[in-house]
Chain A
Amino acid sequence: MVSIDSNALELHALDFSSLSIGDQLPPLQFGAISRHTLALYCGGSGDHNPIHVDRDFAQAAGYDDVFAHGMLSMAILGRMLTNWTAQENIKTFSVRFSAITQVLDEVTASATISDKTSENGEQRLTLDIETRTQTGAKTLTGSATIVVPPLK
């Protein structure tokens, strides 16, 4: 039986007028990423590339060990975004994968408002988003576009 957290069901609507360029979203920490997590993500995502779960395969490919799916880190960024605003408000979401996330790494997802526009009644935010590991190394960088509905 799943307990339902009422806070999770109703996100507070964003107040566009109170948001400013430079504001940061609450970051989200994830991990350390275990081999078990990678196995779950392999099955859950449909990404069956053995390089993420089979160390023999990874070593034959020239790596020391398995490493995390890039899309797992993008999913963590997605969780950070949907913890902050309703998913329907996320219009575009893009990343560049700049470094490999190793097994047992910890990932922190963060975001900063980099642009704010209001045109033809549409209130739009651009977020700079990124993930870093516990060493501070940037693993994903990208952006997201959020359309903020008017407060009711």
Chain B
Amino acid sequence: MLNPENIGRKSEEREIVVEHGQLKLFAKAIFETNPIYFDEAAAKAAGHPDILAPPTFGNCLKLLAPSKDLSYDSLGIDYKGLLHAEEKIESYQPIYAGDRLTLLTEVVDMYEKKGGALEFLVMRTSIHRQGELVQSLTGTVVMRQEVA
């Protein structure tokens, strides 16, 4: 069960360096064909400083640098009943391989549907580079209590 007292809770700041290999594996998994997403030389030839992270990669950074303070356990979330309900990505600056980024996550909302059979949890993660906001991600997950 979700505890509404968790609304407003913030994670610790997490630092992560965007790894070339991670971006290349991600590009392979989504069958990316544009080499600016997996080849340093191609990215530079196209005017980028390094391999460009694709539009949804910010969500991967959330998962690659998980919060200890806002762990699923601490929020009462069980993987078995968990589904992704919504994701909104607001981009302000591109993310490149080699970037050293800081992530901060906050519990934004919790609500129920179907008399509590479905519980929704909304969390927002902001990604900063040297104090500048580069991306904000708002994700909603849903837990089906009958299988949790």
Q: Which residues of A does B touch, CB under 8 Å?
A: 2, 4-5, 8-10, 30, 37, 40-41, 43-51, 57, 60-62, 69-72, 74-76, 78-79, 81-83, 87-88, 90-97, 100
Residue among B30, B85, B87 making CB contact with A41, cutoff 8 Å:
B30
- A92 and B61 CA atoms in complex are apart in Å by 18
**CB contacts between A and B, total, < 8 Å:** 138
How far in angstroms is the closest Cβ of chain B from A150?
18
B117 at the interface (CB under 8 A from A): no
Q: Which 7 A-B pairs give the minimum distances between C-beta atoms?
A: A94-B88, A46-B63, A40-B29, A44-B26, A44-B29, A78-B55, A46-B64
* Smallest Cβ-Cβ distance to A83: which chain B residue: B34
10 contacts between A and B (CB under 8 A): A43-B29, A45-B29, A45-B59, A46-B64, A48-B63, A61-B147, A71-B59, A78-B30, A78-B54, A94-B87
What A residues does B52 contact at CB under 8 A?
Answer: 87
How far in angstroms is the closest Cβ of chain B from A128?
15
- A62 and B32 CA atoms in complex are apart in Å by 33
B67 at the interface (CB under 8 A from A): no
What B residues does A41 contact at CB under 8 A?
Answer: 26, 29-30
What B residues does A46 contact at CB under 8 A?
Answer: 22, 60-64
How far in angstroms is the closest Cβ of chain B from A120?
18
B86 touches A95 (CB 8 A): yes
How far in angstroms is the closest Cβ of chain A from B112?
18
Given contacts A71-B84, A78-B30, A78-B56, 10 further A-B contacts (CB under 8 A): A2-B39, A5-B33, A9-B36, A43-B29, A71-B56, A72-B29, A79-B30, A82-B34, A82-B54, A92-B91
Q: Is the interface of B mostly helix, strand, loop or mixed?
A: mixed
B90 at the interface (CB under 8 A from A): yes
